Amino acid sequence: MKLRNAFIIAALALTGASAPDEHWTSYGRDASEQRFSPLDQINVDTVAQLGLAWRFDMRDGRGVEATPLEVDGVLYVTSAWSVVYALDATNGKPLWEFDPAVDRAVGARACCDAVNRGLAYRDGRIFVAALDGRLIAVDAKTGTQIWATQTLDGGNWPYVITGAPRVAGKLVLIGNSGADLGARGYVTAYDTDTGKLAWRFFTVPGNPANGPDHAASDLIMAKVAETWAGEWWKQGGGGTVWDSITYDAALGQVYIGVGNGSPWNRQVRSADKGDNWFLASIVALDARTGEYRWHYQATPGDTWDATATQSIILADATVAGKPRKVLMQAPKNGFFYVIDRRTGKLLSAGNIVPMARTADTPKGAPISWAYGIDIKTGRPLENPEARYPGNTRVMVHPTGMGAHSWQPMAYSPKTNFAFIPAQDYAATFQADPQYQPIPNARASGLMPGGGIPQDNALRSAIAKSVHAKLIAWDVAAQKAAWTLDYAFAGNGGVLATNGNLVFQSGADGIFRAINAVTGKLMWTFDAQATAMGGPITYRIGGTQYIAIAIGNGGAHWLAGGLSSPQRKALPTGRVLVFKLGGSLVYDRTDTAPDPVNPPEPVTSDKAVLGRGAEKYGVFCAACHGFGGISGQVLPDLRRSPVAGDA
Amino acid sequence: MVVKDGALLANGMPQFGAELPDDDVEAIRAFVADEARFIAATK
Percent of chain B's residues with pLDDT above 70: 95
Contact A575, A77 (CB under 8 A): yes
CATH number at residue A498: 2.140.10.10
Domain span at residue A491 reads: 9-66+74-147+154-450+458-587+600-644
Which candidate from A440, A619, A638 shows the least CB-CB separation from B32?
Answer: A638
Q: Which residues of chain A does B2 touch, with a Cβ-Cβ cutoff of 8 Å?
A: 642, 646
Q: Is residue A595 part of a domain?
A: no
Q: Does B15 contact A643 at a Cβ distance shorter than 8 Å?
A: no
**Residue closest to A642 by CA, chosen among B42, B36, B43, B22:** B36
Alpha-carbon gap: A500 to the closest alpha carbon of chain B (Å): 43
Residue A422 burial (CB count, 10 A): 29
- Select which of A180, A305, A316, A636 is catalytic: A305
Q: What angle do CA A120, A64, A242 make, to 5 degrees?
A: 55
DSSP E strand stretches across A403-499: 410-412, 417-422, 427-429, 469-474, 479-485, 494-497
Among all residues of chain A, which has the CA nearest to that of B21?
A: A615
Please give the tally of structural domains in chain A: 1
Number of H helices, E strands in chain A: 6, 41
Q: Does B28 contact A619 at a Cβ distance shorter than 8 Å?
A: yes
Helix (H, G, I), strand (E, B) or coil at A511: strand
pLDDT at B17 over 90: no
Alpha-carbon gap: A469 to the closest alpha carbon of chain B (Å): 28
Q: Does A108 contact B33 at a Cβ distance shorter than 8 Å?
A: no
Which candidate from A107, A623, A628 shows the least CB-CB separation from B31?
Answer: A628
Contact A239, A258 (CB under 8 A): yes
DSSP designation for A402: -
Judge if ipTM > 0.95: yes
Q: What pLDDT does residue A4 have?
A: 45
Which candidate from A598, A616, A639 shows the least CB-CB separation from B31?
Answer: A616
Q: What is the pTM of this model?
A: 0.96
**Could you please report the per-residue DSSP string of A126-161?**
EEEE-TTSEEEEEETTT--EEEEEE---SSSS--B-
C-alpha separations of A59 from A79, A366, A536 in Å:
8, 42, 22
Q: Does A596 contact B40 at a Cβ distance shorter than 8 Å?
A: yes
Q: Does B15 contact A598 at a Cβ distance shorter than 8 Å?
A: no
Which candidate from A451, A615, A644 shows the least CB-CB separation from B24?
Answer: A615
Q: What pLDDT does residue A19 have?
A: 59
Q: What pLDDT does residue A16 have?
A: 39
User: Which sign does the torsion angle of CA A105, A106, A112, A118 carry?
Assistant: negative
**Residue closest to A507 by CA, chosen among A454, A561, A453, A547:** A561
Contact A152, A102 (CB under 8 A): no
Q: Which residues of chain A does B16 touch, with a Cβ-Cβ cutoff of 8 Å?
A: 440, 619
**Residue closest to A256 by CA, chosen among A215, A304, A201:** A201
Contact A283, A375 (CB under 8 A): no
Q: Residue B1, Cα to own-chain centre: how many angstroms?
A: 10
Q: Does B30 contact A609 at a Cβ distance shorter than 8 Å?
A: yes
Q: Which residues of chain B does A646 touch, with a Cβ-Cβ cutoff of 8 Å?
A: 1-3, 25, 29
Interchain CB contacts (distance < 8 Å): A and B = 111
Domain span at residue B15 reads: 2-41
Please give the tally of structural domains in chain B: 1
A541 burial type by CB count under 10 A (0-12 exposed, 13-18 middle, 19+ buried):
exposed
**Residue closest to A622 by CA, chosen among A632, A630, A610, A611:** A630
Distance CA A283, CA A175 (A): 13
**Amino acid present at A593:** P
Among all residues of chain B, which has the CA nearest to that of A600?
A: B33
> B22-41 vs A606-619: helix axis angle to the nearest 10?
100
Which candidate from A438, A597, A629 shows the least CB-CB separation from B19?
Answer: A438
Distance CA A64, CA A556 (A): 12
Q: Residue A496, Cα to own-chain centre: how many angstroms?
A: 18
Mean pLDDT on B13-30:
92
**Residue closest to A261 by CA, chosen among A295, A227, A212, A285:** A227
Distance CA A441, CA A182 (A): 9
Q: Is residue A592 part of a domain?
A: no
pLDDT, mean of each 10-residue run, chain A (646 residues): 42 47 96 97 98 97 96 98 98 98 94 96 98 98 98 92 98 96 96 98 97 98 98 96 98 98 97 98 98 98 97 90 93 98 97 98 95 97 97 93 95 96 95 86 88 92 91 96 96 98 97 98 98 97 98 94 91 98 95 90 94 94 95 94 76
Catalytic residue list contains A248 = no
**Is the peptide bond prior to A7 cis by the omega test (within 30 degrees of 0)?**
no
C-alpha separations of A588 from A51, A388, A626, A629 in Å:
16, 48, 29, 25
Among all residues of chain B, which has the CA nearest to that of A112?
A: B12
Q: What pLDDT does residue A644 have?
A: 72
